[in-house]
Amino acid sequence: MELVCNTSELAGLSNKQFKVNNKPVLICSFEGNYFAFIDQCPHAMKSLEGGKIKNGKIFCPLHGASFDLETGDVKSPPAFRGLTKLSLEIKQEQIYVAL
């Protein structure tokens, strides 16, 4: 597992991008849970950072595709593939992902 950040770095944010081994990793926070994805929307390969999170889904800030936080599956167009979900662990407030 690779160290991404401390949970305090997400304070007040619903998501944030971090670079881990030169890869963009998006950490999302929703109702006390954390989720990690490769931060690349499969529609136009853009970052999802700053996208709204609602009803367990993250919405791409560029064209509004939505993805399930639990699975990464696409829930609405214009994307038609899901996000790459990463497994995540929290130890002593530190967030780790498997890349």
**What is the closest distance, in whole angstroms, from the C-beta atom of residue 25 to ligand FES in the complex?**
17
Q: Which of residues 25-64 bind ligand FES (CB under 6 A)?
A: 41, 43-44, 46, 60, 62-63
**What is the closest distance, in whole angstroms, from the C-beta atom of residue 23 to ligand FES in the complex?**
18
**What is the closest distance, in whole angstroms, from the C-beta atom of residue 58 to ligand FES in the complex?**
10
In the chain the beta strands, taken as DSSP E runs, fall at 2-6, 15-20, 23-30, 33-38, 53-54, 57-59, 66-68, 74-76, 85-86, 88-91, 94-97
**Measured between alpha carbons, how far is 21 from 24 in angstroms, rounded to an integer?**
8
Q: Strand pairing partners for 19?
A: 24
Nearer to ligand FES, 60 or 95 (CB): 60
Nearer to ligand FES, 36 or 58 (CB): 58
Nearer to ligand FES, 41 or 97 (CB): 41
**24 touches 15 (CB < 8 A):** no
**Measured between alpha carbons, how far is 51 from 83 in angstroms, rounded to an integer?**
14
Which residues form the interface with ligand FES (CB under 6 A)?
41, 43-44, 46, 60, 62-63, 65, 78-79
